[in-house]
Amino acid sequence: MKRIIIERKKNQVQLSFNPLFYKSYFIDAAIQDFSKICDAKKMDDMLLLEPKTDIDVETLGYEFYNYVLCLSKN
């Protein structure tokens, strides 16, 4: 299962997080922290991000994922 799916034509990125490693409150905190950069929609075990700025969707996806990882490690 891919954790990050880039959809350039739709200008979206889909992320999935393993709930054993990534607690939902870390994901929610990242959504709040990224709120000026992108819109986020939670759907079951998936998160859909759409950039609000001219950031590349691939960069957005990987930066968001890394940010959640950093939140969970602190």
CATH number of the domain where residue 21 is located? 3.30.1360
- The count of structural domains within the chain is 1
C-alpha distance from residue 40 to each of 26, 34, 73, 74 (Å):
14, 9, 22, 23
Residues whose CB falls within 8 Å of the CB of residue 44, separated by 6 or more in sequence, listed in order: none
Average pLDDT value for residue range 5-20: 94
Q: Amino acid letter at 42?
A: K
Quote the domain boundaries for residue 29. Answer: 4-73
Confidence grade of residue 1 (pLDDT, cut at 50, 70, 90)? low
18-64 pLDDT per residue, tens: 988 889 999 999 999 999 999 999 988 799 999 999 999 999 999 99
